[in-house]
Amino acid sequence: MDFASGVQFLLGQCEKLLFSLGSPFSVTSLAAALLIAVVFFMAQRLRRGRRLRWRTLWRALFPKRIVAAKSNEADIGYLIFNVFVFGVVFGWAVLSYQSVSHGIADAATAMWGPIEPTTLPSWVPRVVITVMLFLAYEFGYWFNHWLSHKVPLLWEFHKVHHSAAVLTPLTNFRVHPVYTWIFANILAFSAAIANGLGHAMFGQAVPQYAFTDTNMILVLFIHTYVHLQHSHVWISFQGLFGRIFISPAHHQVHHSADPKHFNKNFGSCLALWDWMFGTLYVPGKKREAITFGFPGDPDAHTVKGELVNPLINAAGHLKPLWPRKAEAVLPASHRDPA
């Protein structure tokens, strides 16, 4: 066995995960989220007239009930599995992105003829395409998330994410491989449409502003509050701000086991699509009493419950589509009267 290649692969995956600025789990984004959480808890204590103590602050940031929870242990396992074992799944979406993007541009050329390349300063089309691709990402995320809650077969894979009994930034990795594949392809398709339209608008391929191949606007959100969406830090955006952006509290409500919160707040960074399609729930400034996960599920946080059972349950949804017996699909006149 070539252990050197294996070690090199693992180190490469670690580098992309932790030290790539565009990574959704980069050290810089985690540090930024930690800093925001520290400031938030410090401000809370000062507002209540309490002394600032590092031990108290540490317990507030890393409560034992969350750190030691079986759900958190399972999230660590998902991190290892999805990054080091199944990370290659995202490559399966590239072909759809390239083909759809070129198809949109070719269709525009067929309809309106060749489009002269834009004479605008180069930064103008780049800013436009950066915004377009970010909005396409947000819509693709919302649409995939909405489908995953509305289609029973897809819910079998997505509810793995909702089985988390506590929320930490690691919960972002608690996803079934089938869900990951569907999600990646829907994102690729929506981004490809935006990219193809941008090509048609400006008469040429226009690169977006990005950090290590990740949209710059998305990177900015990742470095502000996206990590806190999977946390116990209740930061709620109010008023118009709460109708435009998905705050940490917005997403924590989405994970709530309370039926009044079901099928709400499907967005990633923006609440615009939720607002537009009637799935927005703006949480109050004061923390709501919510619980997460599916209490009483004996298979929660296990390989059987989180990786195997979704496949079995999904097959059950497909079963009614299969012919029961050969004779059952024959015309009545051809069936054995016995």
Interaxial angle between packed helices 152-162 and 309-318, expressed in degrees from 0 to 180 and rounded to the nearest 10: 160
SS3 110: helix
Ramachandran assignment for 49, one of left (phi > 0), alpha (psi -120 to 50 degrees), beta (any other): left
Domain termination site, one of 233, 252, 268: 233
Identify the band that residue 120 occupies on the pLDDT scale cut at 50, 70 and 90: very high
pLDDT in tens, 217-241: 999 999 999 999 999 999 999 999 9
Structural domains in the chain (count): 2
pLDDT in tens, 134-168: 999 999 999 999 999 999 999 999 999 999 999 99
189: part of which helix (H) or strand (E)? helix 177-202
Same-domain check for residues 151 and 278: no
3 within some domain: no
pLDDT in tens, 285-311: 999 999 999 887 888 899 898 899 999
Answer whether residue 334 shows pLDDT above 90.
no
Q: Give, in order, the Cα–Cα distances in Å from 308 to each of 6, 165, 222, 233.
A: 27, 19, 31, 32
What is the percentage of the chain residues whose pLDDT exceeds 90? 64
pLDDT in tens, 88-109: 555 556 656 777 787 887 887 7
Average of per-residue pLDDT across 183-210:
91
Q: Give, in order, the Cα–Cα distances in Å from 130 to each of 107, 159, 207.
A: 22, 32, 8
13 within some domain: no
Same-domain check for residues 135 and 86: yes
Same-domain check for residues 156 and 40: yes
The boundaries of the domain holding residue 266 are 235-289
Same-domain check for residues 245 and 228: no
Same-domain check for residues 27 and 173: yes
Same-domain check for residues 174 and 254: no
304 within some domain: no
271 within some domain: yes
16: part of which helix (H) or strand (E)? helix 3-19
Report the predicted TM-score, pTM, of the whole model to 2 decimal places.
Answer: 0.89
11 within some domain: no
